[in-house]
Amino acid sequence: MPRSLKILFILLIICSTTQAKQHFIDDGDYPLSTHTLSEKYCSRIDRDREFCQAHTLSFIDGNVSNIPDFLKGVESFIDPIITSYRQVDLKKEVSDTLSDFGNDISGSWYDETRIGLFARTPSTYTLSFESNGYSGGAHGYYAVTYTNVDIRTKKSLSLQDLFLPGSQKRLYQVALSYYKTARNLKPSQPLTWDGWFENRFRFAENFAITPYGLYFLYNQYEIKPYAEGQTSFFLPYSAIGDLIDPKGPLAFALKLPPGRMEAAFDNECMQLCVDVIREGDRVTITAHVVPLEHAKHLWLSVSLPQISSKRQLLSTGYDRFQRVIPYDTGNRIYNCFAKKAIPAKYMLVEADKVNPGHDENHTMWFRVKIPPDLGKLIIDIRATMKKEKRTCRLPESYEGITGEQGYKNYRVILPLRAGT
């Protein structure tokens, strides 16, 4: 294989494991002790070539004295993974692989697993099991699984444990509606338009219980081809409150203040979050972006596809940005596909800063009056950071939904009426 193709191949594997992520907990909130096990074995094929396999496992250390009370007992979910890891005989695996492939193989195969705390609520916590690696073939692999744990009983939870009996059909209908809204599909459009193998909705095998809703994650090949990557969507509790078992693990969700939503995302360049609060027919949207690297220019953009006029914009404000600019329907905005300014189709609010402070929280907020007939409010958000020779975006070009400027956006959905 030519060296240039080898480099491209390696980059494709790396990119598949470094996508921006939505997160529901800050590591600083729970400074957990972690432990890492690592092993590698190589066998020489000839004078110029060798074949290696490596395994790495990182996990929460549940046996330390300073572990938070809610995590006590977590080792029961981690120990089986550790046991399985220690049973792997890398010397035998390398020998077996060379026996199968002979001299047609060289280089390195690897498998990395990281077990971490993904989310925490008053009654549950969620562990994430992230695995990535390469074991031959056209590309590497990456997958995430979640385990939701009831803090009181120390038992893992299924989707059926959270809702009233007989609620499955209604839950399915609401989830399908939210999925299509999150992926910018009309109700009548089939799921195959979003890349699904077939037009039959099903819940993801993985879900996480978070403070404001259920987070569903479909791994590669689960509903779409490998090239489509992972797919996720968020189902707010306020949309399914009448289905929640008031005596079950989600009882805390029935006490949440109505009309509130938070979402946070990050990658290697930036952290991005949005906080939405509804008061009657007014909604206040506060967006934050923190550059994690030095940059020349920073932009933060929030779009409201259901609001056509900035006359519904009641107020704006910012901190550490230089300005906030609202664009009305018809105002000309740059589109990356057209490579020119085009008339806006709906309201967009943008803030920017030249030479933004490294690790500083840049904030903008605005208040809008929402139309009375909306069942849910759609908010699209993105951040862009220009550095010396490259541009960093959140979300990246292979994530999110396409906004009116042609760039990818994260979509946050605020329910305005239960069951919508």
Does residue 5 have a pLDDT over 80?
A: no
Half-sphere CA count of 88, side-chain side, radius 13 A: 20
Helices (H), 110-202: 168-182
**SS3 of residue 376 by DSSP:** strand
Output the pLDDT for position 63.
86
Supply the pLDDT for residue 4.
Answer: 34
User: What pTM does this model have?
Assistant: 0.89
306 pLDDT higher than 90: yes
Residues 108-154 pLDDT 10s: 999 999 999 999 999 999 999 999 999 887 788 999 999 999 999 99
Residue 257's pLDDT is what? Answer: 87
Q: How confident is the model at residue 1 (pLDDT cuts 50, 70, 90)?
A: very low
Q: Which residue shows structure tokens 């958000």?
A: 381
More confident residue, 397 or 333: 333
Per-residue b or e along 366-383, where b marks 16 or more CB atoms closer than 10 Å to that residue's CB: bbbebeeebebbbbbbbb
Residue 16: pLDDT band (50, 70, 90) is: very low
List, as own/partner pairs, every contact residues 325-331 make where C-beta atoms lie below 8 angstroms and the sequence separation is at least 24, other chains included: 325/349, 325/350, 325/351, 325/352, 326/366
Q: How far apart, in whole angstroms, are the C-alpha atoms of residue 394 and residue 392?
A: 7
230-240 confidence digits (pLDDT tens)? 999 999 999 99
The model's confidence at residue 158, banded by pLDDT at 50, 70 and 90, is very high
> Which domains, ranges and CATH numbers included, belong to the chain?
20-150 (3.30.565), 159-255 (3.90.640.20), 260-415 (2.60.40.1170)
E strand residue ranges, 7-49: 21-22, 34-44
Mean per-residue pLDDT, 167-173: 96
The pLDDT score that the predictor gives to residue 15 is: 36
- Quick one: pLDDT at residue 20? 63
The amino acid sitting at 286 is T
Which one-letter DSSP state was computed for residue 330?
Answer: T
Buried b (16+ CB within 10 A) or exposed e, 170-199: ebeebbbbbbbbbbbbeeeeebeebebeee
Would you say 394 and 269 are in contact if contact means Cβ atoms under 8 Å apart?
A: yes
Note the pLDDT of residue 388: 85
Mean pLDDT of the 300-325 span = 95
Q: How far apart are CA 95 and CA 85, in angstroms?
A: 18
In this prediction, residues 61-71 reach a mean pLDDT of 90
**To the nearest whole number, what is the mean pLDDT of the chain?**
91
For residue 354, with 0-12 CB atoms within 10 Å meaning exposed, 13-18 middle and 19 or more buried, which class applies?
exposed
Backbone torsion region of residue 400, taken as left when φ is above 0, otherwise alpha when ψ lies between -120 and 50, otherwise beta: left
Q: What would the pLDDT profile of 43-57 be if each residue is shown by its tens digit?
A: 998 888 999 999 999
Buried b (16+ CB within 10 A) or exposed e, 261-282: bbbbbbbebbbbbbbbbbeeee
Residues ≥6 apart with Cβ < 8 Å to 193:
185
pLDDT of residue 9: 33
Contacts of 197 (CB under 8 A, 6+ apart): 223, 224, 225
Cα–Cα distance for residue pair 277/416, rounded to 1 Å = 11
